[in-house]
């Protein structure tokens, strides 16, 4: 398959099951809601070392938030329910409770209920106040700028992590420009995040390593500097490969995001130095969700 001069490899991205939740952060203005959201989703690029994968889903208008203030929706993914709950609670306490004018609400009502502000209430040292409105429990916790309002729980649902595609280009600037174009379009979608810095990862990995302590290592088959030293997947003229990783609430959400992102790259085309679109997989052994590139782009 070729789209605008860009070859779409006959391969698939391999993804795995995760647990996910959504939280909504509001503040007196969008600036402070975003500051809190950025802090809460920091150091959350990969479950390999971060404990979770998290990112900003979108900004919210006052008409879309529970308290009628500007807000930001974030998604957090983890491999298990316990790990997700721990990451959510720790990050909420350190990054939202501490952030001026912030409030914190559930972004998912269905699924298994896990603590959001349920245990943060103890920071109130006995002065916290509980309110139940329309069947939902909230906590008002006294803090020095007034009070911190938080919903007690949020919903945990089944999700998918690790959808991906690789952009092969003639130069590093061309690869990065293509990924930036893809991320710009993908961020318009709901229910997905691209957790790596700016949505792009340059250190794509493979399973395993020559060093026993490491479970993952550099994907040498796609490293341009190793063409003569490893079994390469790259043509001679390819000088840069970058990867976009997608986590989504459903497989269908990732299907859509991959299609939108790949199309944005192909719109730039071969004239802009884009050569191929490929994907990271491990022979179908890593996860049960397979995203076949040519089927997605058909």
Q: Are residue 194 and residue 277 in the same domain, yes or no?
A: yes
Q: Which of 157, 176, 200 is the last residue of a domain?
A: 157
Q: In which domain, by residue range, is 58 found?
A: 19-157
- Report the DSSP pairing between strands 129-133 and 136-143: antiparallel
Q: Are residue 165 and residue 293 in the same domain, yes or no?
A: yes
For residue 284, is pLDDT > 90? no
pLDDT digits (tens, 9 = 90+) for 73-100: 999 999 999 999 999 999 999 999 999 9
Tell how far CA 114 is from the center of its chain.
20
Report long-range pairs for 252-256 (Cβ below 8 Å, ≥24 apart): 253/160, 253/189, 253/190, 253/191, 253/192, 254/15, 254/160, 254/163, 254/192, 254/289, 254/291, 255/291, 255/296, 256/189, 256/192
Q: Which of 116, 134, 157 is the last residue of a domain?
A: 157
pLDDT confidence bin for 37, thresholds 50/70/90: very high
Q: Considering only 19-23, 47-51, 88-92, 186-190, which range has the smallest mean pLDDT?
A: 47-51
Mean pLDDT in the chain?
Answer: 96
Q: What pTM, to 2 d.p., does this model score?
A: 0.95
Q: Token digits for 160? A: 């998918």
Average pLDDT score over residue span 187-212: 95
Q: Are residue 122 and residue 184 in the same domain, yes or no?
A: no
- Rounded CA gap, 271 and 292, in Å? 25
pLDDT confidence bin for 26, thresholds 50/70/90: very high
- Rounded CA gap, 106 and 88, in Å? 11
Percent share of the chain, pLDDT over 70 = 100
pLDDT digits (tens, 9 = 90+) for 109-158: 999 999 999 999 999 999 999 999 999 999 999 999 999 999 999 999 99
- Dihedral angle sign, alpha carbons of residues 97, 18, 214, 218: negative
Q: Are residue 105 and residue 145 in the same domain, yes or no?
A: yes
Q: Are residue 264 and residue 198 in the same domain, yes or no?
A: yes
Q: Which of 251, 64, 45 is nearest to 157 (CA)?
A: 251
Q: Are residue 133 and residue 190 in the same domain, yes or no?
A: no
Backbone angles phi, psi at 169, to 5 degrees: -140, 165
pLDDT confidence bin for 52, thresholds 50/70/90: very high
Q: Which of 107, 128, 157 is the last residue of a domain?
A: 157
Q: Are residue 137 and residue 183 in the same domain, yes or no?
A: no
Residue that has been written with the tokens 């060093």 in this structure:
211
Residue 100 sits in a domain of what CATH number? 3.30.70.520
Q: Are residue 176 and residue 241 in the same domain, yes or no?
A: yes
Q: Are residue 151 and residue 23 in the same domain, yes or no?
A: yes
Give how many domains the chain has, as a whole number: 2
Q: Which of 164, 292, 175, 265 is nearest to 223 (CA)?
A: 175
- Rounded CA gap, 20 and 18, in Å? 7
The CA-CA-CA angle for residues 18, 253, 200, to 5°, reads 75
Q: Are residue 124 and residue 212 in the same domain, yes or no?
A: no
Q: Are residue 93 and residue 216 in the same domain, yes or no?
A: no
For residue 50, is pLDDT > 90? yes
Q: Give the N- to C-terminal CA distance of the chain in Å, as an integer.
A: 9
pLDDT confidence bin for 208, thresholds 50/70/90: confident
Fill in the DSSP letter of residue 241: E
Average pLDDT score over residue span 97-106: 98
Q: Are residue 73 and residue 164 in the same domain, yes or no?
A: no
């Amino acid at each position: 398959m070729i789209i605008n001069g860009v070859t779409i490899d006959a391969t698939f991205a391999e993804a795995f099951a995760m647990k996910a939740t959504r939280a909504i952060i509001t503040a007196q203005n969008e600036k402070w809601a975003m500051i809190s959201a950025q802090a809460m989703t920091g150091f959350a690029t990969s479950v390999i070392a971060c404990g979770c994968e998290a990112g900003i889903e979108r900004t919210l208008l006052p008409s879309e938030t529970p308290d009628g203030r500007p807000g930001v929706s974030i998604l957090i993914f983890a491999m298990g329910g316990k790990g997700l709950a721990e990451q959510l609670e720790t990050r909420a306490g350190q990054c939202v409770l501490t952030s001026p004018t912030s409030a914190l609400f559930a972004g998912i009502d269905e699924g298994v209920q896990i603590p959001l502000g349920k245990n943060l209430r103890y920071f109130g040292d006995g002065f916290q106040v509980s309110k139940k409105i329309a069947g939902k429990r909230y906590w008002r916790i006294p803090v020095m700028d007034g009070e911190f309002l938080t919903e007690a729980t949020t919903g945990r649902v089944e999700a998918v992590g690790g959808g991906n595609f690789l952009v092969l280009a003639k130069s590093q600037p061309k690869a990065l420009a293509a990924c930036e174009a893809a991320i710009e379009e993908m961020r318009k979608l709901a229910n997905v995040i691209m957790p790596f810095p700016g949505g792009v990862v340059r250190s794509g990995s493979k399973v395993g390593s020559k060093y026993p302590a490491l479970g993952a290592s550099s994907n040498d088959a796609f490293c341009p500097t190793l063409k003569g030293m490893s079994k390469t997947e790259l043509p001679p003229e390819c000088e840069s490969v970058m990867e976009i990783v997608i986590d989504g609430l459903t497989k269908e959400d990732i299907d859509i995001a991959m299609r939108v992102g790949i199309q944005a790259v192909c719109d730039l085309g071969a004239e802009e130095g884009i050569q191929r679109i490929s994907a990271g997989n491990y022979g179908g052994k890593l996860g049960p969700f397979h995203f076949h590139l040519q089927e997605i782009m058909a």
